[in-house]
């Protein structure tokens, strides 16, 4: 059944992805077929299976990737007790990398490295190239003309070999080097006939192996022809067949992807047995972009790009690692609870999860626990501390069952020894996960997980005994290196392939995306550790432009063969950057986009997503008194009516981020408290003037202590003695700068601090505190609010100010006190201490301009008060009316400081408008 475009159909003829017919006689004669890689072997097997009738019983043909065949041969020789094969065990790739990592670690004093694992992977690759090109025969180790990198490589290689020798292990390329000269004596273990498929230009080591096999058995070849490649006039140059090859240019990648999907779906619709290839670049995330576009054009809203669920197309190399799979991520998060300190945000994810023993049990208590953790905990914590919190009976976050489960979980590791081999840790992890009820469903990812744990156990002898942190590190590394299993869906007609992968298949039509000068030919990326001159001399992979060009010509020549329509597309711009088309396609004239199948219908995709337009009410009036929200309720209303509605009527808020250490809010409120205490002690400018430096410092120190105590209460884990001292120094510096500023002001007396006010207006009853009220020499009062942030513009003179705090203060207090002469923000941070606000007074401070000198406002302090009062009343009325328009006062600038964009969906609205603009001629 084919279902790629939403219709269902019967495939009477299977989709032909590979011409299997030329190989059938080899199967009949029971020959062994070798391919250069697993992918080719799988494709051949699939093609062979397609030839068989439904229900027919057939034995598995002998088709192997050459490396697998060699390992099997080694195992056979070993079982038969033949030396040295029975003495040496071939390493799998992860074990090999562990050996390299250990050797790099042991030589850290001589060659210090920042990233051991990545370097180990790179050295391991270089080592195989070194063997495959027989460089040990060609390079003299003492030659000083080679770089430091190469001498480090030789040193590590020596250590690697010694380690393997000692532990009776061997890497694959070394194993081939041993096998080749021994094959003459091992003929009885070899098949009598062998067919090598698609071995084009193998590395010298494999070429020598194949040469030896040719001497001993009947070896034949199956290779695709490359007509045109050996043209006498221009050797190695691709000759595009202008009857089948077309070149398209698009303005950007989005339109290129859209056209490609539209074209592919149309071909699927027209011919249900065609094999359609799309050649992508994994590094540019083409697969993700294509999947999104297929979703859009096929009318699906919730697709799944997971390689275990082929939905629109088959892929052949997994872009995701096993660690990226959701169930595996969950298992790792559970196992990380074994660490002394755990990451609070990961624990919060576990609290939301249903996929373990508790399922949905205690869910609402778990949600309350998460909110508590996000509001009061720092980014890391101890499991024991969390358990003591969740055991608090009567609290909304009381989770007794979860606590018991976690106790049993930790007991399993507590009973183990501190240092164990990886095999023992793998067993413990399995038991812990079973206890926790993981996994709930046994998927392909789970089967791969089991294989990975087995592989982890096999590295025990290489890495020795580890503590639990080391064992988890090894496990994580292995899971990141293991690709997620890929499921092949035989019903799908579209294949997403890389340039190399494309060579394994036959296509009816082929579309190469991003055929630009970076990709065709690919830019060079020589090996890091081997001398570049040697790599170029021996034509080692990706070492020179000449080689890349030759490779690109070869690939294009092979691809155009047997493909009825071959499209090379590219786009002109990536952001502001102009992209050049591939020089290999310059001889092909640009085709008009409308000529290419259904791409002329780009504006009308096959299955467009139907939007349903719903007219929401513009207002939902307030029906009862609202007593929460303080001054922010009106400031939010002024910034964006929807923001105020969502925050104060719906109770929407962003989940607080868990940060390492103290966040800006903790620090700000600590400073606030210290300023309040200091202003109470030194409540008169004269008093500050008269006190000595030592007395001022004493007052500062005394004011800081309650702030430190407050932070300690909130974050006992963070506020260690050292950290507390650092905070003391920070606050002391700020308070000293603050006092200096106080001295530069005109005389004042602190009349009051933290004055509690309630403003009752219609259905609003807003409570807030005025940080400080100062009395000036003329008896008038100024209102002050402390701020530790760096915001400098509050738009007080706009119709919708950013901040209505000062306007509301003066209105609410003004009804009791009539002689207010100004309102200010007292900004105190490490960059500066200053006052900003509005007044008519000229001598308050050199930083403060009287309103008469302010360009943005034409009037006096009394005029401004009147204006502010009317704005505050208007915003209150708007809120009561329940206006819920998504209307940020200053567009993007307002949204930049708002966390509700996923709720108001202003970005969707903008995208929709942009799309409509794009489609409007
Ligand atoms: S993101 Fe912008 S439009 Fe959306 S609620 Fe916030 S301020 Fe309003």
Burial of 183 (0-12, 13-18, 19+ CB in 10 A): middle
Residues in the chain, how many?
Answer: 921
Task: Please give the number of the atom of ligand 1 that sits closest to the Cα of 898.
Answer: 6
Say if residue 316's pLDDT is above 50: yes
Q: Looking at ligand 1, which residue's alpha carbon is closest to its atom 5?
A: 643
Q: State whether the beta carbon of 884 lies less than 6 angstroms from ligand 1.
A: no
Burial of 34 (0-12, 13-18, 19+ CB in 10 A): buried
Say if residue 918's pLDDT is above 80: no
Tens of pLDDT along 396-419? 999 999 999 999 999 999 999 999
Full 3-state SS string of 52-86 = CCCCCCCCCCCEEEHHHHHHHHHHHHHHCCCCCCC
Helix (H, G, I), strand (E, B) or coil at 31: coil
Q: State whether the beta carbon of 901 lies less than 6 angstroms from ligand 1.
A: yes
pLDDT at residue 644, as a whole number: 96
CA pair distance 899, 640, nearest whole angstrom? 12
Mean pLDDT of 894-903: 92
* 4 band by pLDDT with thresholds 50, 70 and 90: very low
Mean pLDDT of 770-795: 91
CA pair distance 125, 568, nearest whole angstrom? 32
Q: Which residue has the higher pLDDT, 451 or 147?
A: 451
Helix (H, G, I), strand (E, B) or coil at 575: coil
Tens of pLDDT along 538-564? 999 999 999 999 999 989 998 998 789
CA pair distance 75, 81, nearest whole angstrom? 10
pLDDT at residue 355, as a whole number: 80
pLDDT at residue 306, as a whole number: 67
Helix (H, G, I), strand (E, B) or coil at 630: helix
pLDDT at residue 619, as a whole number: 92
Say if residue 597's pLDDT is above 60: no
Tens of pLDDT along 328-363? 999 999 999 999 899 999 999 999 888 888 888 999
Q: Are strands 509-512 and 276-279 parallel, antiparallel or unpaired?
A: parallel
Q: State whether the beta carbon of 836 lies less than 6 angstroms from ligand 1.
A: no
370 Cα to the center of ligand 1, angstroms: 25
CA pair distance 285, 298, nearest whole angstrom? 20
CA pair distance 206, 424, nearest whole angstrom? 39
Rounded to 5 degrees, φ, ψ at 224 are: -70, 145
Task: Please give the number of the atom of ligand 1 that sits closest to the Cα of 901.
Answer: 1
Q: State whether the beta carbon of 889 lies less than 6 angstroms from ligand 1.
A: no
Helices (H), strands (E): how many in the chain?
Answer: 34, 21
CA pair distance 728, 656, nearest whole angstrom? 26
pLDDT at residue 277, as a whole number: 96
Q: Are strands 748-761 and 276-279 parallel, antiparallel or unpaired?
A: unpaired
Question: Closest Cα to residue 175, out of 244, 101, 89?
Answer: 89
End-to-end, the C-alpha distance of the chain in Å comes to 40
Mean pLDDT of 450-457: 95
803 Cα to the center of ligand 1, angstroms: 15
Mean pLDDT of 369-376: 89
Question: Closest Cα to residue 182, out of 89, 86, 260?
Answer: 86
Tens of pLDDT along 639-673? 999 999 999 999 998 888 887 778 888 899 999 99
Mean pLDDT score of the chain: 88
902 Cα to the center of ligand 1, angstroms: 9
Structure token pair of residue 96: 């090999």
632 Cα to the center of ligand 1, angstroms: 15
344 Cα to the center of ligand 1, angstroms: 29
Q: Where are the alpha helices (DSSP H) in 378-512?
A: 383-390, 400-414, 422-436, 444-458, 460-463, 468-481, 499-502
619 Cα to the center of ligand 1, angstroms: 17
Task: Please give the number of the atom of ligand 1 that sits closest to the Cα of 887.
Answer: 3
Q: State whether the beta carbon of 888 lies less than 6 angstroms from ligand 1.
A: yes
Rg (CA), the chain: 36
Rounded to 5 degrees, φ, ψ at 31 are: -75, 160
pLDDT at residue 394, as a whole number: 94
Say if residue 596's pLDDT is above 70: no
Say if residue 226's pLDDT is above 60: no
884 Cα to the center of ligand 1, angstroms: 11
CA pair distance 170, 819, nearest whole angstrom? 90
Q: State whether the beta carbon of 47 lies less than 6 angstroms from ligand 1.
A: no
Tens of pLDDT along 34-92? 999 988 898 888 888 888 777 777 888 899 999 999 999 999 999 999 999 999 999 99
pLDDT at residue 873, as a whole number: 96
Say if residue 504's pLDDT is above 60: yes
Lowest average pLDDT, out of 151-155, 574-578, 615-619, 740-744, goes to 615-619
Structure token pair of residue 399: 């989770």
Residue 843's CB: how many other CB atoms inside 10 A?
12
Residue 782's CB: how many other CB atoms inside 10 A?
22
Residue 482's CB: how many other CB atoms inside 10 A?
21
Question: Closest Cα to residue 346, out of 383, 390, 393?
Answer: 383
DSSP assignment string, 578-597: EPPBPGGGTTSPBPPGGGSG
CA pair distance 739, 751, nearest whole angstrom? 17
Lowest average pLDDT, out of 450-459, 469-478, 648-657, goes to 648-657
Mutual angle of helices 363-376 and 344-352, in 10-degree steps:
160
Cβ atoms 88, 168 nearer than 8 A: yes
Question: Closest Cα to residue 494, out of 291, 304, 253?
Answer: 291
Tens of pLDDT along 475-492? 999 999 999 988 888 889
Q: State whether the beta carbon of 643 lies less than 6 angstroms from ligand 1.
A: yes
CA pair distance 665, 559, nearest whole angstrom? 60
CA pair distance 805, 808, nearest whole angstrom? 5
This prediction's pTM = 0.74
Q: Which of 635, 643, 644 to mutate to test the pocket of ligand 1 (most atoms within 8 A of CB)?
A: 643
Tens of pLDDT along 318-327? 878 999 998 9
CA pair distance 734, 830, nearest whole angstrom? 6
């Amino acid at each position: 059944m084919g279902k790629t475009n939403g219709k269902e159909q019967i495939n009477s003829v299977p989709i032909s992805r590979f011409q299997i017919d030329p190989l059938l006689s080899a199967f009949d004669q029971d020959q062994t077929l070798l391919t250069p890689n697993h992918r080719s072997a799988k494709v051949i097997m699939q093609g062979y299976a397609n030839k068989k009738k439904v229900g027919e019983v057939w034995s598995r043909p002998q088709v192997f990737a050459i490396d697998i065949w060699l390992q099997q041969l080694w195992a056979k020789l070993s079982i038969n007790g033949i030396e040295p094969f029975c003495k040496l065990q071939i390493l799998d790739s992860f074990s090999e990398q562990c050996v390299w990592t250990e050797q790099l670690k042991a030589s850290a004093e001589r060659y210090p490295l920042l990233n051991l694992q990545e370097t180990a992977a790179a050295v391991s690759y270089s080592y195989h190239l070194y063997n495959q090109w027989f460089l040990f025969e060609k390079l003299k180790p003492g030659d000083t003309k080679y770089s430091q990198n190469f001498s480090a490589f030789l040193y590590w290689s020596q250590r690697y070999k010694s380690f393997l020798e000692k532990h009776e292990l061997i890497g694959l390329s070394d194993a081939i080097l041993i096998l080749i000269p021994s094959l003459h004596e091992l003929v009885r273990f070899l098949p009598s006939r062998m067919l090598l498929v698609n071995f084009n230009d193998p590395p010298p080591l494999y070429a020598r192996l194949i040469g030896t096999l040719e001497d001993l058995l009947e070896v034949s070849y199956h290779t695709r022809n490359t007509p045109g490649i050996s043209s006498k006039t221009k050797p190695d140059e691709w000759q595009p067949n202008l009857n089948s090859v077309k070149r398209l240019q698009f303005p950007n990648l989005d339109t290129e992807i859209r056209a490609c999907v539209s074209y592919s779906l149309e071909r699927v619709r027209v011919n249900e047995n065609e094999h359609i290839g799309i050649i992508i670049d994994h590094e540019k995330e083409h697969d993700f972009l294509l999947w999104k576009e297929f979703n859009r054009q096929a009318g699906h809203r919730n697709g799944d790009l997971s390689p275990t669920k082929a939905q629109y197309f088959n892929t052949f190399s997994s872009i995701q690692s096993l660690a990226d799979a959701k169930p595996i991520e969950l298992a790792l998060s559970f196992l990380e609870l074994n660490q002394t300190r755990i990451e609070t945000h990961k624990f919060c994810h576990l609290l939301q999860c249903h996929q373990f023993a508790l399922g949905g049990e205690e869910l609402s208590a778990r949600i309350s626990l998460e909110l508590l953790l996000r509001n009061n905990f720092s980014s890391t914590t101890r499991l024991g501390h969390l358990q003591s919190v969740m055991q608090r009976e009567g609290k909304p976050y009381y989770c007794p069952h979860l606590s018991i489960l976690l106790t049993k979980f930790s007991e399993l590791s507590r009973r183990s020894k501190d240092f164990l081999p990886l095999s023992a840790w793998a067993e413990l992890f399995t038991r812990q996960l079973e206890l926790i009820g993981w996994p709930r469903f046994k998927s392909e990812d789970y089967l791969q997980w089991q294989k990975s744990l087995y592989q982890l156990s096999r590295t025990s002898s290489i890495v020795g005994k580890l503590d639990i942190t080391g064992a988890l590190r090894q496990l994580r590394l292995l899971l990141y290196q293991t690709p997620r299993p890929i499921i092949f869906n035989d019903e799908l007609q579209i294949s997403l392939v890389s340039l190399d992968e494309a060579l394994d298949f036959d296509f009816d039509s082929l579309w190469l995306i991003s055929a630009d000068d970076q990709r065709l030919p690919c830019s060079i990326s020589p090996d890091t550790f081997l001398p570049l001159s040697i790599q170029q001399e021996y034509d080692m992979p990706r070492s020179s432009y000449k080689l890349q060009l030759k490779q690109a010509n070869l690939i294009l020549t092979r691809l155009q063969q047997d493909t009825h329509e071959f499209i090379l597309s590219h786009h002109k711009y990536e952001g502001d950057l102009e992209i050049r088309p591939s020089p290999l396609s310059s001889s092909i004239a640009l085709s008009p986009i409308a000529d290419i199948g259904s791409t002329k219908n780009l504006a009308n995709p096959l299955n467009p997503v139907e939007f349903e337009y719903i007219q929401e009410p513009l207002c939902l009036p307030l029906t009862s008194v609202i007593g929460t929200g303080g001054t922010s309720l009106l400031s939010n209303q002024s910034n964006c009516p929807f923001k105020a509605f969502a925050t104060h009527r719906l109770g929407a808020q962003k989940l607080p981020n868990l940060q390492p250490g103290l966040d800006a809010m903790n620090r700000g409120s600590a400073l606030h408290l210290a300023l309040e205490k200091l202003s109470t002690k030194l409540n008169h400018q004269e008093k500050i003037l008269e006190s000595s430096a030592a007395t001022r410092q004493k007052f500062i120190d005394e004011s800081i202590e309650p702030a430190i105590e407050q932070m300690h209460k909130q974050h006992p884990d963070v506020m260690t003695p050292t950290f507390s001292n650092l905070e003391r120094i920070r606050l002391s510096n700020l308070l000293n700068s603050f006092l200096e500023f106080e001295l530069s002001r005109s005389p004042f007396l602190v009349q009051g601090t933290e004055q509690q006010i309630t403003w009752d207006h219609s259905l609003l009853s807003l409570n807030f505190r005025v940080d400080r009220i100062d009395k000036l020499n003329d008896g008038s009062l100024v209102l002050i609010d402390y701020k530790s942030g760096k915001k400098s513009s509050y738009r007080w003179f706009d119709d919708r100010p950013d901040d209505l705090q000062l306007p509301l203060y003066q209105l609410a207090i003004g009804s009791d006190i009539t002689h207010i002469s100004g309102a200010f923000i007292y900004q105190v941070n490490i960059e500066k201490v200053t006052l900003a606000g509005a007044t008519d007074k000229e001598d308050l401070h050199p930083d403060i301009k009287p309103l008469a000198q302010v360009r943005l406002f034409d009037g006096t302090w009394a005029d401004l008060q009147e204006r502010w009062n009317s704005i505050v009343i208007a915003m209150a009325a708007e809120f009561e009316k329940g206006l819920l328009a998504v209307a940020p006062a200053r567009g993007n600038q307002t949204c930049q400081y708002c966390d509700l964009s996923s709720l108001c969906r202003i970005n969707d609205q903008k995208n929709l408008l942009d799309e409509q603009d794009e489609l409007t001629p």
